[in-house]
Chains A and B, each alone.
Chain A
Amino acid sequence: MQIKFTLNHQPVTLEADPSMRAIDLLREHCGLTGPKEGCSTGECGACAVWINGVTRLSCLMLAAQLQGQSVVTVEGVNPDSPDTLHPVQEAFVNCGAVQCGYCTPGMIMTAAQLLACERTPSRERIREAISGNLCRCTGYHKIVDAVEAAAQAMDREIS
């Protein structure tokens, strides 16, 4: 089946089995290995991407569901200047929120979406928002720090 969608702000048309999982389409056919597979059952959040601006788990979606949608992976999170880091990515780096880095892309997608909706979420609110993304390395402390720092940086940019 022909699948047409927008991937990281570029239109793409692919020939793919519609019953293939979206994560496999992205990783194997499109070469975007930012979305990670940690559980295959929607429990870990490592495969999170944006579908029409909303965080979704690509391991629970089929390729056919991408038809006509706008898909953004961590590789496309900063479309205006792809060579620099998105404020959330920059905060993850600077605050030490990255250890093994395997949960990082999904965590960044979730966090960036939170900050797209809320300018200055509290630590508790951040913890709630990322609670569907498992991390085994950090204990989340520095991830919460990073999201808080990114919120402040983005808030400064806006105001």
Chain B
Amino acid sequence: MKTLSFIEDIGRRSPRFDAPDKARGKEKFASDLYPENLLWAGALRAGIPHGEIRSIIVDRALSMAGVHAVLTRKDVPGPNRQGFVYWDMPVLCGKKVRHAGDAVALVIAETREILAKALESIQVDISPLPVVDSIDAALSDQAPKVHDLTTGNLLKAATITKGDPAVLATCDILLEEYFSTPVQEHAYLETENGVARLDKEGILHLIVSTQAPFRDRLEIARALGLDPGKIHITAPYLGGGFGGKDGATVQCLLALAALHAKGRPVKMWWDREESMVAGYKRHAARMHYCLGAKKDGELVALKCEIDYDTGAYAHLGVEIMALGLEHAAGPYRIPNMEAKGRCIYTNNPIAGAFRGFGVAQVSFAFEGMMDRLALKLNMDPLALRRKNALIRGDKNCADITMTHSTGMAECLLRLADHYLWTDRGKWVAAAPRFKRRGVGISAVFNGMGYGHGLPDYAVAKVRLTQSGTIRVYNGVSDMGQGNASTFVQMAVEILCQDRENMELVQPDTDRTHPSGSSSAGRTTYTYGNALIKACTALRDKLCNRAALMLLMDDARGFAMVPGAVRHLATGKEISLAALAAIMHPEDRLCVADHLMVTTPEMPQGGEAFSLGFPHLIYPFAAHLARVEVDELTGGVCVKDYLAFTDGGRVLNPQTFEQQVQGAVAQGIGYALCEAVQTTQSLISTRDLSTYILPTSLDLPDIQSHCVETIEHSGPFGMKGIGEVGLNGPLPAIGSALIHAGLPMNRAPFTPERILAALQGQADKKKEPPCR
């Protein structure tokens, strides 16, 4: 690549720092590591969604040449428990299996071929228990318990209340609907994997495709009864994450395998099928909404009930439900709300964190209600949203005062001016024969950061190296979103260096500092705030040391320039390499931390959640979809897509667009074709020919525009937009369909469902009335 001669500072559309090596195929992902003399580890999956283990006979596997160890529950040294808040997930199941992807044995072998044969030869006798395959089955009186909870299969129930929800009954307009959303697969192209090795000093080294290396260290230590100080984790660039690598995947299994590998490195790499069977998913949800409004469209009250199927283990299910409740009524001014949530165990695949974290589900419901209200009132759906959109000083539906950047109304205003909206009538009328067209919009938001109860902090470290380069020690995994590159850009901005003078270290529990997980739209925000402090301290220090060298009174009048520090009045310079040579290595280092602000407000009922609720800062977005329906096949095609996003100040327009376009693509898949299918809790979509991801032919060009508010608490005024873009497409496409005469209450909008709607069959499953 040609050397770029300008400083790639903040606000510039800069190519990503990590892009050249990735384009060359040089970047080493965890899965690209094949250390010498390695062994392969693999887990035997239960294959039965619910049952009691009677016996596991491993003799045949153990006697095979090339098999090093076959491990079961009795070989797990510690409490064998994994999880975030609820430690409910075994590393290896001993007595009971709760979903078909549960690991029951772990094999270590010389080659993948031997590993596969050894896994096949293990005889597991599981006595099946009745399968809890749905929310209804889980809540029935006779339901077998997935876990031994006094509340049956109800992991958590909570109700958030604002104002007086009883006024709902007296509203001019009252609408009631049921919605449901499917299980979605993260489907990162690099499946779960890592390598591990126990060294002679007893240190366990892991290189893992993970969003949370520092949390992994504690989790492995806890689950296996090890000393966290003797666990070293490195997180190279991930081949995608989206939430699915936040939590235990291969970590504890790999660590356990390494303990039995006599110092040899062990590699574990789930294939696509194992990733689908054992990996985490987005929670399926069903939602019952009752919305009340005035005749002029002013929202008055919402009552809703939202159930999330968390599958066999809690993961972050309760926190996901909490966000669902927090966002239940949308980015609108609504004085009264009662949102009831339940998070429910079943024997289905494990649901966990996924971009849009509980909000993607409710976005479909609250925006579906807005479109139905607009139709009922014969009102412009965009005008209805603008009328109710949150502005600074309002309290949102979770009773949190909007004290930070609030660009919802501006996003809608910009969208209203766009030709894709203003020309919609002409476009719809020009539909060819047997095609039906609709234009839909959505307004969405997504709380940023961990929220109340879990300190959202990061510790940044930056160093002037011996050779005079600047090295940034990134403490938060880069799963593809580009945070690491943005950190370089921030350091470049403050230290005024060429990119060629920058180095980057990826998360490593020995070299970088604990900075939380790559998640929740917090990554660039929190670490970035810490990094600004660290870089500013380094800049001041370098100017000060330059003053010493150049015999000036103090650091005033010095500035950093590429490769050097300059005294502006005299033009005297000292190169960074020369400065580095006289500075002690410890003096060439700056470390600083940042803790995200949280809200002191707690909505009524919010005490039920120990962490992750509520939020203070929200990015917002308004989306538009132009949709064409084939009346003969039921196929739905998104012809044009447009997104306006309020992410505060944009640090790099290219990375900003990447996040929006990628989230929209995943959201269009969620709306049209993606659904994990299960029968009696057994997955039938086990590969990428049955679980359908959008290809380049299934997606339109995605126009992304920023609405630049300024988020004063954020680094250079930004806030995180990794999640909010996913929440828009499902409701925007749903909106387009309803305005084309096809109200849809169940996602995804498959051709079968569209055909049924075209034939006038209501898309409403009979659901129980309001609880």
Contact = CB atoms under 8 A, between A and B. Distances in A.
A and B together in one complex: yes
Nearest to A35: B25
Interface stretch (A50-58, A61-69, A82-90): A82-90
| Chain B interface SS verdict (over half) | loop
Interface string B22-50: 11111111011010000000000000000
Interface in A104-130: 104-105, 108, 123, 126-128, 130
Contacts of B20: 85, 89, 93
Nearest to B28: A33
Contacts of A96: 15-16, 19, 654-655, 657-658
A135 B669 CA distance: 12
Contacts of B189: 36, 38, 44, 46, 100, 102-103, 134-136
Contact of B687 (A43, A94, A99, A108): A43
Interface residues of A, number: 54
A100 B188 contact: yes
B188 A136 contact: yes
Interface in A25-47: 27-28, 32-41, 43-44, 46
B451 interface: no
A40 to B, nearest CB: 6
Interface of A: 27-28, 32-41, 43-44, 46, 73-75, 84-85, 89-90, 92-94, 96, 98-105, 108, 123, 126-128, 130-144
Nearest to B272: A39
Given A41-B272, A93-B1, A128-B697, A102 B657 contact: no
B701 interface: yes
B699 interface: yes
A105 B1 CA distance: 16
Interface string B502-525: 000000000000000000000000
B426 to A, nearest CB: 23
Interface of B: 1-2, 15-16, 18-20, 22-29, 31-32, 34, 186-191, 237-242, 271-272, 479-482, 654-655, 657-658, 661-662, 664-666, 687-689, 693-697, 699, 701-702
B116 to A, nearest CB: 12
B658 A85 contact: no
A34 B238 CA distance: 15
Given A74-B24, A104-B22, A142-B658, A94 B15 contact: yes
A34 B240 contact: no
The 7 closest A-B pairs by CB, nearest first: A34-B25, A100-B480, A101-B22, A139-B665, A102-B239, A74-B25, A33-B32
8 contacts: A28-B34, A43-B689, A100-B480, A102-B239, A103-B189, A138-B665, A139-B662, A139-B699
Contact of B697 (A39, A93, A131): A131
Given A101-B27, A142-B657, A137 B1 contact: no
A83 B240 CA distance: 27
B695 A134 contact: yes
